[in-house]
Amino acid sequence: MPTNKPNGLSPRNTNLGRPRTTGTATCARCGRNAGRTRATWPEGRICGPCFTTATRTHGTCPDCGQQRLLPGPPAAGGPRCGPCAGILHDFHCTRCNAEGEFYRRGICARCALRDDLTELLPPDPAAPETAGKIVDILCKADRPESIITWKRSPKVQALLTSLSCGETPLTHEGLDAAAESAKREANHLRALLIHHGLLPYQDPYLARFETWIDDKLRDLPEEIAKPVSQFATWHHLRRIRSITTPEKSAQAPVHSAKQEITETIKFLDWLWETHQRTAATCTQQDIETWLATGPTTRKAIRTFIVFIKNTGTNHRVDMGHYTAKTRPAITQDQRVAWLRELLTGTSESLPYRVAGILLLLYAQPLVRVARLRTDAIETNEINGNMQITFGAHPVPVPEPFAELLQEHLVSRPNLRTGAGTQSSWLFPGTRAGQPLHPNGIMDRLRSLGIDLRGARNTALDEHLLASPPPIVADALGYSHQIAFIHADNAGDAWSRYVNLRTKP
């Protein structure tokens, strides 16, 4: 741990290792005692964890040059295949001929999973094609053992049986109905089916937002429910539907819309209970009183006030933009210390260190970081320099961050699921076809003590001190307007750049 780490940093143990074992047998590979061993190979007795690691290691044998299972000891040049290492055991599955650890009676875990699913589903399903596709998708998992564990749940078994029997239609609406009793299971299966093209794309945040609106309106009185329904449907829902694509998640706009709708309901409820007035009859004084007598979150009603004015519901009211009185920031020394810690320290696991550096080095919001794809990173074949794209053109990735980023690309987590190993996300999530949730990244970095907004503001200020706002905006994916606002707040010389450009 570096001696100059920022105050408040709590180290996280990222290498917990294996649980302790006891016994009289000693593993020839790891030297640990074990109650029982899994095999006896030329070097000696092998414990269970070492046996599992060996039977899941594939690559090119340095002796014979064949691409196959490499269970041999990790000697100079790397582990060898069974014959070259003198291991006489035949690791080929008796059914599919794949090399690996036997899961059950001479067959691999993938074949065992297919047997289990075939036994679970009815012998004559109502939708045989659907049942076959579901089995094929689940059996594509890079680590089928995880699907075997997942399907042991009675809720999962009931869901799969219901789909194959035709009781639950293989549609988003069908899975929505099934989610009432098995929410997590239905949503996990939905993600797999979308990823493999068996269901059309549906943004999970948008789908949940539609349900959230219905739940929010259900118990409201008519004088409040009607204007809120119009606001939520005509303004927010229509807008979010129009901007949501597989490349652009609805997570951020849905979060903002929920806050605005919630604050609007509070305002209209107060307005009716206190003054017996509605959105159509409220006055400017009502708005001023509401804003002056509560927290700053009440400013979120501004979009609703603009909406009722533009739609002709109430022309007598108005509300300007809210300007924050403070702007969080950290010092440049603190920023450099955090960069040094994430580059060289052990306070976090590799994916979260990379995400934190993208925030501290390039002023990237973590919502955007979570949805970065691997194709945003390029390495020049001639000089070996790495670049990353956030906006209109790529920006260089300096060392030693380039080495760390390359290490993360090679060892990205959460690839051994039903989605397979071909995920395009830089930070793959635990659910098939989806990235890590940005809130999870935020929580991990906050737990270290990083002021996320302050770190982003300071990083952006440093870029604006070195380059004009339009160049920074294009490079880092910000709008020109936002870049000039930050330049003004930072008080740098480039804030006058726009005026110089507009002179004849």
Contact 403, 389 (CB under 8 A): no
Count the domains in the chain.
4
Give the C-alpha separation, 415 to 224, whole Å: 47
Q: Would you give the DSSP letter of residue 20?
A: P
Residue 322 lies in a domain: no
Domain boundary among 201, 219, 252: 201
Contact 304, 231 (CB under 8 A): yes
- Asked whether residue 395 falls in the same domain as residue 267, the answer is no
SS3 content of the chain, % helix, strand, coil (to 5): 50, 10, 40
- Asked whether residue 452 falls in the same domain as residue 356, the answer is yes
- Asked whether residue 81 falls in the same domain as residue 227, the answer is no
- pLDDT at res. 383: 82
Chain centroid to CA 385: 27
- Asked whether residue 182 falls in the same domain as residue 213, the answer is no
- Asked whether residue 485 falls in the same domain as residue 396, the answer is yes
- Asked whether residue 196 falls in the same domain as residue 212, the answer is no
Residue 315 lies in a domain: no
Give the C-alpha separation, 89 to 87, whole Å: 6
Report helix, strand or coil for 148.
Answer: helix
Count of alpha carbons within 13 Å of 178, Cβ hemisphere only? 26
Contact 256, 367 (CB under 8 A): no
Supply the range of the domain harboring residue 163.
109-201
- pLDDT at res. 482: 86
pTM: 0.66
Residues of the chain with pLDDT under 50: 1-18, 20, 495, 498-504
Residue 282 lies in a domain: yes
Domain boundary among 177, 201, 225: 201
Residue 256 backbone dihedrals phi, psi, to 5 degrees: -65, -45
Residue 260 lies in a domain: yes
- pLDDT at res. 13: 44
- pLDDT at res. 7: 42
Residue 144 lies in a domain: yes
Residue 92 lies in a domain: no
Residue 91 lies in a domain: no
Name the strand (E) or helix (H) holding 274: helix 251-275
Provide Rg for the chain, Cα atoms: 29
- Asked whether residue 357 falls in the same domain as residue 465, the answer is yes
In order of 136, 220, 274, 312, the CA distances from 267 in angstroms are 52, 13, 10, 19
Q: Would you mind telling me the total number of residues written for the chain in this entry? A: 504
Give the C-alpha separation, 413 to 409, whole Å: 9
The pLDDT tens digits of the residues spanning 442-473 come to 999 999 999 999 999 999 999 988 888 899 99
Sign (positive or negative) of CA dihedral 57, 373, 389, 353 = negative
- Asked whether residue 460 falls in the same domain as residue 411, the answer is yes
Kindly state the tokens that stand for 101. 């650890």
- Asked whether residue 59 falls in the same domain as residue 120, the answer is no
Domain boundary among 85, 100, 118: 85
Residue 318 lies in a domain: no
- pLDDT at res. 501: 45
CATH number at residue 424: 1.10.443
- Asked whether residue 193 falls in the same domain as residue 212, the answer is no
Residue 44 backbone dihedrals phi, psi, to 5 degrees: 135, -160
Which residue in 51, 81, 49, 78 sits closest to 68, CA to CA? Answer: 81
- Asked whether residue 49 falls in the same domain as residue 79, the answer is yes
Contact 472, 483 (CB under 8 A): yes
- Asked whether residue 141 falls in the same domain as residue 253, the answer is no
Contact 120, 150 (CB under 8 A): no
Contact 429, 437 (CB under 8 A): yes
Q: Would you give the DSSP letter of residue 30?
A: T
